[in-house]
Amino acid sequence: MGIIYNSEERIFKIDTPKSTYMLGIGDDFGHIVHVYYGKKIEGDTFGIPLPTIDPKNKIWYMDGSKMEYPTGDIGDFREHCIEIKNANGAHALECGYKKHRIYGGKPEIPGLPATFAGENECTTLELTLVDEIAGVELVLIYSAFEDVDVITRSVRVKNIGSDELKLTKILSACIDVDNNNFEIITLHGSWGRERHIQRNKLTYGRYGVYSERGVSSHQDHPFMAIVEGGTTQKMGEVYAMNFVYSGNFEAQCELTPQNAARMVMGINPYQFEWTLNSGEVFDAPEVVMVYSANGLGEMTRNFHDLYRKHLIRGKYKSTKRPILINNWEATYFNFDTDKLLSIASKAAELGIEMLVVDDGWFGNRFDDNRALGDWVVNEDKIKGGLKYLVDEVNKLGMKFGMWFEPEMVCPDSDLYRAHPDWAISIPGREPGRARNQLVLDITRKEVRDYIFESMSKVLHSANVEYVKWDMNRALTDVWSADLAADRQGEFYHRYVLGVYDLQGRLIKEFPDLLLENCSSGGGRYDPGMLYFSPQIWCSDNADAITRLDIQEGTSLIYPLSTMGAHITDCPNHSNGRVTPFETRGIVALAGTFGYELDITKIPEEERKQIPDQIAMYHRYNDLVREGDYYRILSFRENNRDDSYMVVSKDKKEALVTFVQVMHMTSVPNLPVKLEGLDPDTMYRIDEIDMTLSGSVLMNAGLPVKWEHGDYKAGLYYLKAVE
């Protein structure tokens, strides 16, 4: 059992394989204090004194102790997790221990994505706290996994009073840990430049990343880690949080006057106000917490294992994905059945397994100014109809997939002309457009039903085996005709619940469908979406060199199996860079792998490489998808080269990627010191015609080739010699 309660010491102890988390019932009132989070502590007695409360100075206690789930207006002036407003206008919330329950397994969170585990894979603590005066019951839910150093947290709030209650802020997790010369790591970016790693010293005050865009966003990411000063991939203490949510979020860390770091994560309180009538419940989304005493690499591998085993679902959870060719960068809107079939037949000849028809197959969609919402096949373009096209593609031995942007509507569309009120807008105000599109109010069931039915109709009409679900703008002008004036603060969260409802219905109706999420590239790449789709388009920027940073930041948390990565044409459509076709292939191999170019037009010498690239994908994908990931060198840090590797769980094989981004005249590449191998095993490496021990490879390093020119990439496959 990963969780125990020591009733004499009034301490709960939550264990994962290598970490321990403790919280206590701090005083007679039953405030819950945080006791410890860090390296595993064995045993079931601790002798750790809990802070004592002096009723004459309660506020000092509230503001100076480590609190487990700080509440508003009772003296904890650091960032707190929950704020309410009672019918009489009061905000104070002071919850005391009422009861607890410890059990095997993990509950679902109604309406929300969450990690899952069987009875023997996980233990859960539900801690119920009550404030009778405010009429609030809080249930703090902790689950500890048996196989990964992960603790998940979520919170349920119930109105146990007789009057209406407003919930104006609800975060899902908080930790108070003693400062260890902390640095703070977050992920930032923009379109085409998602999830770049940023690291700063943690200083006094509050540092946060937030989204108020309605999606988790390109700009900031629902992830935060505080790390011991100087932490590397292999060394140092790491506390990390990642939010299983796809909308507005807050991730914040405060270095407190007590020299502790308070890190919190949850729904962004921006415009949030949720009404709870008597007896009603609100479930806050889940936060995943990882502790590593051994650097960032171990943190990464915990996240990867958790998400691969306990978050991603469906037929493609742990199988090879079909190698696709997507027509977006090949044709943009300018295609018809003949063009698509010419791409498909050339692709099939070379071993590509699926054709994906991107934006432009429906309604009057000849450019990006019109027709979103009209999910009816445009037979002027798709001559012969969708079934004909799909059947022809299937005859080539390929699967077929297609693009939708279900949450959107263009003012120039049949849908908008029939239901202008379905677009999100504020009465009397012209809603802001982006890419000439508006967002549908999917907080409304009738709107969701329309979307679901129109998509289902198309998907049932032919053998469609893949859907790319796109979402190309942020939310603004939010207001819903279905919500009363005093409930408009529920909009943003209801929108996210709407997305989850729709995607849940879609994969239930089409259980074998491979769903890929996308949001102008990687604008909604988060664990919430991974619960519905095993892969997400990582970025619209597929330039191999820009992708090094993007894929480094993404793989800091998310498994390689989730990262949509394509080989595209050069000069690159986003930044004009020209890189060798081979390098583009090697960099895309770190993700789901596919092509997005006009295969009928690229130079013959590039086309000739495709069968080898495909063979490489088939040879290595099981390893890339399921292995342990190690970040070896970062071009972001050294401005010269980049390297990462994947090692099989049994350490019998490994694949090292080395990208020589900049050739340095007269300074040969240094050997690359590998990680994660068995020191005593001999590994055969055909690419350099050598057999070396794990110990040599990890200490002296792998002698990588030094090539003439920039942007050169190489793969090195290590196979244990029996």
Active site residues: 470, 540
Q: Is 303 in the site for ligand DGJ (CB under 6 A)?
A: no
Q: Which stretch binds ligand DGJ (CB under 6 A): 135-143, 163-171, 483-491, 515-523?
A: 515-523
CB closer to ligand DGJ, 295 vs 360: 360
Q: Is 521 in the site for ligand DGJ (CB under 6 A)?
A: yes
Q: Residues 464, 466, 472, 478: is their CA dihedral positive or negative?
A: positive
Nearest distance in Å: CB 240, ligand DGJ: 27
CB closer to ligand DGJ, 436 vs 648: 436
Q: Which stretch binds ligand DGJ (CB under 6 A): 145-153, 154-162, 480-488, 513-521?
A: 513-521
Q: Is 520 in the site for ligand DGJ (CB under 6 A)?
A: yes
Question: Of the candidates 328, 422, 491, 658, which one interacts with ligand DGJ according to CB under 6 A?
Answer: 328
Cβ atoms of 511 and 519 closer than 8 Å: no
Question: 241, 277, 276, 212: which is closest to 495 by C-alpha?
Answer: 212
- Torsion on CA atoms 332, 338, 340, 343, rounded to nearest 10: -110
Strand 466-469 versus strand 514-517 pairing type: parallel
Give, as ranges, the residues between 12 and 31 that touch ligand DGJ (CB under 6 A). Answer: none
Q: At what angle do helices 491-509 and 445-460 cross, to 10 degrees?
A: 30
Tokens of residue 493, six digits: 């969260």
CB closer to ligand DGJ, 541 vs 621: 541
CB closer to ligand DGJ, 21 vs 537: 537
Nearest distance in Å: CB 162, ligand DGJ: 50
Cβ atoms of 245 and 496 closer than 8 Å: yes
Strand 238-243 versus strand 249-255 pairing type: unpaired
Question: Of the candidates 76, 137, 283, 359, which one interacts with ligand DGJ according to CB under 6 A?
Answer: 359
Cα separations (Å) of 117 from 3, 121, 143, 534? 15, 6, 9, 17
What is the C-alpha radius of gyration for the chain, rounded to an integer number of angstroms?
26
Question: Of the candidates 79, 540, 543, 598, which one interacts with ligand DGJ according to CB under 6 A?
Answer: 540
What pairs with residue 655 in β-bridges? 646, 717
Q: Residues 446, 447, 453, 456: is their CA dihedral positive or negative?
A: negative
∠ CA 578-583-588, nearest 5°, is 110
Nearest distance in Å: CB 381, ligand DGJ: 15
Question: 393, 395, 401: which is closest to 356 by C-alpha?
Answer: 401
**d(C-alpha 650, C-alpha 516), whole Å:** 30
Q: Which stretch binds ligand DGJ (CB under 6 A): 78-86, 109-117, 385-393, 516-524?
A: 516-524
**d(C-alpha 568, C-alpha 330), whole Å:** 9
238-277 footprint of ligand DGJ as x/- string (CB under 6 A): ----------------------------------------
Q: Is 470 in the site for ligand DGJ (CB under 6 A)?
A: yes
CB closer to ligand DGJ, 85 vs 573: 573
Question: Of the candidates 151, 324, 462, 518, which one interacts with ligand DGJ according to CB under 6 A?
Answer: 518
CB closer to ligand DGJ, 368 vs 501: 368
CB closer to ligand DGJ, 143 vs 539: 539
Q: Is 546 in the site for ligand DGJ (CB under 6 A)?
A: no
- Torsion on CA atoms 667, 673, 674, 679, rounded to nearest 10: 140
Q: 């793989």: which residue's tokens?
A: 555
Nearest distance in Å: CB 472, ligand DGJ: 5
Cα separations (Å) of 126 from 150, 280, 701? 17, 18, 48
Q: Is 472 in the site for ligand DGJ (CB under 6 A)?
A: yes
Nearest distance in Å: CB 322, ligand DGJ: 17
Q: Which stretch binds ligand DGJ (CB under 6 A): 222-230, 477-485, 514-522, 606-614?
A: 514-522
Give, as ranges, the residues between 396 and 415 that touch ligand DGJ (CB under 6 A). Answer: 403
Q: What DSSP element (H or E) covers 443?
A: none
Q: Is 543 in the site for ligand DGJ (CB under 6 A)?
A: no
Nearest distance in Å: CB 237, ligand DGJ: 37
Q: Which stretch binds ligand DGJ (CB under 6 A): 20-28, 388-396, 517-525, 610-618?
A: 517-525
Question: Of the candidates 307, 525, 537, 581, which one interacts with ligand DGJ according to CB under 6 A?
Answer: 537
**d(C-alpha 449, C-alpha 470), whole Å:** 18
Q: Which stretch binds ligand DGJ (CB under 6 A): 227-235, 239-247, 373-381, 518-526?
A: 518-526
CB closer to ligand DGJ, 247 vs 521: 521
Nearest distance in Å: CB 314, ligand DGJ: 22
CB closer to ligand DGJ, 540 vs 569: 540
Q: Is 358 in the site for ligand DGJ (CB under 6 A)?
A: yes
CB closer to ligand DGJ, 404 vs 644: 404
Cβ atoms of 129 and 67 closer than 8 Å: no
Cβ atoms of 697 and 674 closer than 8 Å: yes
Cβ atoms of 171 and 216 closer than 8 Å: no
Q: Is 526 in the site for ligand DGJ (CB under 6 A)?
A: no
CB closer to ligand DGJ, 127 vs 356: 356
Nearest distance in Å: CB 516, ligand DGJ: 10
Strand 408-409 versus strand 438-439 pairing type: antiparallel
Nearest distance in Å: CB 463, ligand DGJ: 21
Q: What DSSP element (H or E) covers 585?
A: helix 581-588
Q: Residues 599, 602, 603, 605: is their CA dihedral positive or negative?
A: negative
Nearest distance in Å: CB 575, ligand DGJ: 15
**d(C-alpha 324, C-alpha 363), whole Å:** 24
Residues at the site binding ligand DGJ, with contacts judged by CB under 6 A: 328, 358-359, 403, 470, 472, 518, 520-521, 537, 540
